[in-house]
Amino acid sequence: MSDQPRAAIAAASRLVVKVGSSALTTAGDGLDVGRLDALVDAIAERVARDTQIVLVSSGAIGAGLAPLSLGKRPRDLATQQAAASVGQLALAHAYAESFGRYSLTVGQVLLTSDDVVRRAHYRNAERTFSRLLALGAVPVVNENDTVATEEIRFGDNDRLASLVAHLIRADALVLLSDVDALYDGDPRAGGTRRIAEVADESDLDGLSVGMSSSGLGTGGMMSKVAAARTAASSGVPVLIAAAADAREALGAAQVGTVFRPAGSRLSARRFWLGYAAGSNGRLHLDDGAVAAVVRRRRSLLAAGVTGVDGDFQAGDVVDLVNPAQQVVARGVVAFDVTELPELIGRSTHDLPPEQRREVVHADDLVPLRHR
């Protein structure tokens, strides 16, 4: 095992740290200020080493349970949103007080997936983070659970953290929870092995990852692995570790499981296309088109399209799928869905002059690992 990705995390000058609900709250008492202070101690220690940190924090719903006399996380959306409304204030106040012990100012940033899916919103968020960091503040990010609908779902803050890591051009991402690492089985069953490093996708073959057992969070190891793969595939090293080991995770980074970054760093636009933007449809490709798009990084032509699904217009983002129905790329389509059926399978030279253009231009296309 190489220490290179761990060394990169330890030396990162800009870092995103995500902490899960189960690491900050308990079912009976809500927000655990002692755990929160311990996390802030570790972050402040790293900030003192001239590292800029963005903290993506779950816990708003969990922090709102005790004040509302709720014994466990509610299942219905309205009560979840009510708990988030109360808990968000408690969580923000607790962070402000705790970071204040180190004379650090925090800025609250509430996001929904819309803020990273829509390109204009994405750029606005990017500017906000840039300015907060330039002013020496610690941005504390949470999902806007009070008004979110689909966003209050399994693993969303893990995914949000991976998107924020790329949005702010972070050098690394650290995911903290009540799980100390990735194992090759359920660690509660015994006889399992900690996986110290994930160097490539093959290291995950045959693994079954479980959920958090606290009942407070919406995520689990599955969501963390998905977020780690997203970040690592775009060039960002990732560490999964226990919140109880935050000081070591943010120090020498010799705990947990590290995900080695794969390939070069994507540009902000190409990352947005591949991982943040919403898809409005699918283009089905033949094997020749898949080879051209994925291996040779060529534009997609009408001749290689075999079918169309969805409701999209020219300029929308669509998925490109192979004959096995696996998503192999994403890109900005140049035609409306109503225009494409008559173009499918036809050579560019056989098309009317006004339609002799790429279906998806190579500059607007991002190859992906199979999803």
Under 8 Å between Cβ of 55 and 46? no
User: How do beta strands 317-321 and 365-367 pair?
Assistant: unpaired
- Tell me how far apart the alpha carbons of residues 17 and 140 are, in angstroms, rounded to a whole number: 10
The fold for domain 279-367 equals 2.30.130
- DSSP assignment string, 204-271: GTT----B-SSSS-S-BHHHHHHHHHHHHHTT--EEEEEGGGHHHHTTT--SSEEE---SSPPPHHHH
pLDDT in 10s for each residue of the chain, 371 residues: 457 999 999 999 999 999 988 889 876 678 889 999 999 999 999 999 999 999 999 888 888 888 888 888 888 888 888 988 898 999 999 999 999 999 999 999 988 766 766 666 777 888 999 999 999 999 999 877 566 555 444 346 888 898 899 889 999 999 998 889 998 877 777 778 889 999 887 777 766 554 444 444 445 788 888 889 888 888 899 999 999 999 999 999 999 999 999 866 777 677 777 777 778 899 999 999 999 999 998 999 999 999 999 999 998 899 999 999 999 999 999 999 999 999 999 998 888 888 889 999 998 898 886 55
Q: Which residues contact 271 (CB under 8 A, 6 or more apart)?
A: 166, 234
C-alpha separations of 97 from 29, 57, 104, 293 in Å: 19, 15, 10, 52
Give the start-end residues of each E strand in the chain: 14-19, 25-26, 30-31, 52-57, 106-111, 138-143, 172-177, 182-183, 194-195, 197-198, 238-242, 257-259, 281-285, 305-310, 317-321, 327-332, 365-367
Q: Which residues are annotated as a binding site for ATP?
A: 18, 177-178, 218-224
**pLDDT for the residue 192:** 80
**pLDDT for the residue 352:** 86
Q: Which residues are annotated as a binding site for substrate?
A: 58, 145, 157
Q: Which residues are annotated as a binding site?
A: 18, 58, 145, 157, 177-178, 218-224
To which CATH superfamily is domain 4-270 assigned?
Acetylglutamate kinase-like (3.40.1160.10)
**pLDDT for the residue 135:** 96
Q: Calculate the CA dihedral of residues 186, 192, 198, 204 and round it to 10 degrees.
A: -60
Nearest Cα neighbor of 169 from 334, 54, 73 is 54
**pLDDT for the residue 211:** 41
**Residues forming a β-bridge with 220:** 211
| Cβ burial, residue 247 (10 Å; 0-12/13-18/19+) | middle
User: How do beta strands 365-367 and 327-332 pair?
Assistant: antiparallel
Interaxial angle between packed helices 156-167 and 221-233, expressed in degrees from 0 to 180 and rounded to the nearest 10 = 20
C-alpha separations of 340 from 125, 158, 200, 307, 344 in Å: 35, 37, 37, 9, 6
The answer for 119, left when phi > 0, alpha when psi is -120 to 50, beta otherwise, is alpha
**pLDDT for the residue 117:** 62
Domain boundaries, the chain: 4-270, 279-367
